[in-house]
Structure 1
């Protein structure tokens, strides 16, 4: 949800900032801009569109500086235009600001500033910030004090970085939006996400909400709003820049689909013992003895992973509920001393999920973050954290993170079951044995899938329905989400039995139905298949290769290897990912950067 990058060095940083922007383009691509400071004033260049047009334009003008800010925008306030692109400046052109988040009191501040004579050139909430700093500078405050005083007047969520003419520093702060710092010799980096500067350094500092940072060549100083020093350690990121490259694939999404076997191996590694027990180092046996119910809070793909885990817990007799975080934040469910709230978030920065998590923490519920990012806000603020180890994911449409979330949550379910009930689940032996070979089975699906052949056959359909029961239901929802995200075509996921309670009215010979079979309740799902086939709809079935009763019934069969029924959804999901990808590719969609979407949603 917008990307910020910045660099301070002893040499020209323009190319470095542009590279950082390119690496963050998955966070927003409506418009982009750059500002530099080199002792001769603040210079800004920005435009509607992606990073490549901006880079081409900058190459043809004299543009240099030892301090630089960059921004790639996903629009919230104001359309994607040249005027609304960041950085934004004050009336005098001495202050340049980039911002991610939402300033909730911007209308009040804008009216006040306009009445005082400030001229605004954009529709954005961000533009109030440079004008607030301008006022504080005019009142005689030095640039750092002016920045702090301006921030003190802002309400909302934000990550903000600022250049002020006459200084050799970049000032920045965060509140509810991610901002990380990179350290490389005399250079200092700021970014919304580590991939921005990963090709230059793997040494990072994760900033907390309320942190203020002053960057100069060779130094960074972190304080709170009062100026008191804050100690934030330098950590080393375990993955390298090559992990965030396309590596010969046409799209990041296709690369990340094919990275799932290795991601799953990392998720499982060291977490299953030789005698088939769950070994979560962070949570030894007895860690959840005091839990009697589980709430999952999450958004989008993470919500579907939560639904999957919720089904597993319910099958084991443990009360569990999966809530969308946006609704949970506004209409929270009751919690007790025995409620465990599991926040599932790929980035660890999802605004709705963080808001919900903070609400239940205020009500003294125990919280656990399941995330991919070690230094993320969710990981730091939750009582405990469990990491999915998926590695960087650049494509906006989540793929390998969903699979990794499901597997790690399945392991967590087994730990919860044993702690809460006092004994292992009846599924543990078979489930963990199946988990050991699951990465190899995903590799086989990727190698043998015929999903590409479906693209031309069904690309011009009026819509698509995805159906399933049990763990196949959240997979159907996830399959529909992937399809609509990257193809821009209508798709909906349903519990299989719900089709006849309304959606069946939309089924025609031009609406293919993709039916996911888990190996449980397949007869009932086949009955639903017959209902849609009697209306002329073609059916694509995804089931175990031994499911002859399914293969003989559906129009097109996409087989998956035989596995434990509770893991069948992971394999079926890979087939659905490939279907979505190949249809989107045939339709020439922007697969890695779907319209109107961004990777990490850091505003509510």
Structure 2
């Protein structure tokens, strides 16, 4: 949510700021703005809507400068208006951009009003601008003023600050929200995401909790909140600019759905190279696995559904008790902790605030054995975890997660089988079977993608609908949940998912000829049960859309539509069946004309509560 980019250089940095903001658009936003230092004053351009509108306004006034900050805002405090858009300015002397939430903003607002500051917005961000300005009156530098201000703030936030008093200095700080510094030659940058600086540099430093940094064109100084100097490692990003471009596709979601065979193959490769070995999860995994007697998975949204699939795998394959909980719920309840439980956090970005806070809470309860499954190298959650498995999905831009989800499933499957092997519950024959299943999975996924024309025709039937039901049983119930979520996210069709056996316990009351019912029906042990549930739907006039396996014995009839995915792929079937529900949501959204990659009210990286 929201995006920050800043630069200090010996060239006009407005094009750099605009390019960075465009690359942050995928995170979700409703307004954009930039502020630069030019001719001894701060010039600012803000617009509600897309970055392109703000860019046009900046070009009209020939905005330029060597020092500046930019921002894409996703509204929290205050509506979607230009006065609420970032950057925010204090007394014409200082500008601030901010991601996150300041929890004590009301208290600080009242105190600053008493000091004579006037507020022109409804945002919590303007409090930061005035507070830094207040400290700058007595502080020795802007660096010191920002550090003192940050110590007074409560919440999770990342900020960038510039001032007319120090025309060659950019200050930034991180508490809870991601922020990095990009290192150039005679120029340096700050951003909330590496994609924002890739056109200028690949060398980055990830700031850590409580870091405050002073950035000039040739030097970087970082201290903690108590003013102690700290060092941060320099990393070379392996994210390619090509992965951030659409290429021949119409939308990033479409591109990312079709990238899944490669993403899965790249993620599976590390498993095939080492086998199901603890080393897959880090140098300390052997010792960690010796300590644990259960698994607790914490995640949000699509990652939670991946964890829900994993619960079936971990218990069925490894015989280890496994629970899955929504991170935002776990962090606020009184938990009965089991220090011998492996805490597994799942996050595509590695910066999901609720998941990060849930991990901190678990550690405060005495959970020392932690594993992160993540797609972004060196992000916050992996850094806070003892073990890590990096998926190799590549950059995921579309708000609705696709390839990140299926690669998370591979990581979780590898965990389940590795635990089984470690605990002596995996035969050599089974291990070979599982490795072969992984080896053939990308090809099966490609076959599933070839079903797109048939699924597109289904989408034409879905687009006029207002509601839909998704049904699944066993390990495929979470895939039904994921299918319903995808349809909601990007087509705005209200969709709910249920275990098929729950139909008669309530949801069946909703079924009539206007309610399409999507059924995940692989050829597994529960197939006959699913068929019975389908009969319950047909008896009430409901229209069935069935995703079955090639070797399932289904036939189409009036009110029953069937698409057969490739042959049943056994234990990895949930991965395969995720593909058609993604395609259904995508094409239904196209039919309805919604913004597929930037659905309303949603953001890619959720770094606020």
- Settle same-fold status: TM greater than 0.5: yes
**Residue among 435, 442, 445 paired with 1:442:** 445
Distance 2:100 2:435 in 1: 42
Question: How far apart are 1:219 and its partner, in Å?
Answer: 2.0
**Distance verdict in 2 for CA 1:277–1:368, change over 3 Å:** closer
Question: How far apart are 1:552 and its partner, in Å?
Answer: 6.9
CA contact under 8 A between 1:137 and 1:143: conserved in structure 2? yes
**Residue 533 (structure 2) pairs with residue 528 (structure 1):** yes
CA contact under 8 A between 2:4 and 2:69: conserved in structure 1? yes
Aligned pair count?
Answer: 603
Cα RMSD, aligned residues only: 1.8
Distance 1:131 1:233 in 2: 32
CA contact under 8 A between 1:278 and 1:411: conserved in structure 2? no
Distance 1:292 1:274 in 2: 24
TM norm structure 1: 0.97
**Distance verdict in 2 for CA 1:564–1:551, change over 3 Å:** farther
CA contact under 8 A between 2:554 and 2:562: conserved in structure 1? no
Aligned to 1:484: 488
Distance 1:156 1:236 in 2: 30
Question: How far apart are 1:565 and its partner, in Å?
Answer: 2.6
Question: How far apart are 1:569 and its partner, in Å?
Answer: 1.5
**Distance verdict in 2 for CA 1:447–1:115, change over 3 Å:** same
**Residue among 511, 525, 533 paired with 1:507:** 511
Distance 2:223 2:451 in 1: 55
Aligned to 1:219: 219
Aligned to 1:306: 307
CA contact under 8 A between 1:99 and 1:161: conserved in structure 2? yes
Q: Secondary structure at the match of 2:289?
A: coil
Distance 2:289 2:507 in 1: 41
CA contact under 8 A between 1:486 and 1:591: conserved in structure 2? yes
**Residue 332 (structure 2) pairs with residue 336 (structure 1):** no
Aligned to 2:402: 399
Question: How far apart are 1:278 and its partner, in Å?
Answer: 8.1
Aligned to 1:519: 523
**Unpaired runs of 5+ in structure 2?**
none
Q: How does 1:140-539 map to 2 (within 5 A)?
A: 141-167=140-166, 168-273=168-273, 280=280, 282=282, 287-316=288-317, 317-365=319-367, 366-421=369-424, 423-424=426-427, 428-449=431-452, 450-520=454-524, 521-539=526-544
CA contact under 8 A between 1:471 and 1:518: conserved in structure 2? no
Distance 2:475 2:459 in 1: 26
Q: Secondary structure at the match of 1:132?
A: helix
Please identify which structure carries the higher helix content: 2
Q: How does 1:28-177 map to 2 (within 5 A)?
A: 28-90=28-90, 92-139=91-138, 141-167=140-166, 168-177=168-177
Q: Does 320-329 or 309-318 show the bigger shift?
A: 309-318
Distance 1:275 1:138 in 2: 61
Q: Secondary structure at the match of 2:16?
A: helix
Question: How far apart are 1:557 and its partner, in Å?
Answer: 1.5
Question: How far apart are 1:287 and its partner, in Å?
Answer: 4.7
Question: How far apart are 1:533 and its partner, in Å?
Answer: 1.1
Aligned to 1:574: 579
Distance 1:419 1:301 in 2: 28
Q: Does 322-331 or 544-553 show the bigger shift?
A: 544-553
CA contact under 8 A between 2:548 and 2:554: conserved in structure 1? no
**Distance verdict in 2 for CA 1:361–1:49, change over 3 Å:** same
